[in-house]
Amino acid sequence: MTIKIKKKAGTFAENKDIAKQIREKELIPLLKKEKKVYLDFDQVSGTTQSFIHALISETIREFGDGVYDKMIFKNCTEQVRQVINIVADYMQESSN
Is the entire prediction scored with pTM above 0.85?
yes
Q: Is 73 left (phi over 0), alpha (psi -120 to 50) or beta?
A: beta
Domain extent listing, the chain: 2-94
Q: Within 13 Å of residue 67, how many CA atoms lie on the same side as its CB?
A: 22
- Per-residue model confidence (pLDDT) at position 65: 83
pLDDT, tens only, 8-49:
999 999 999 999 999 999 999 999 998 899 999 999 999 999
Q: List pLDDT tens digits, range 56-96.
A: 999 998 998 889 899 999 999 999 999 999 999 888 777 65
Where are the alpha helices (H) located in the chain, listed in sequence order?
5-9, 16-22, 28-32, 49-63, 78-94
pLDDT of the residue at 95: 62
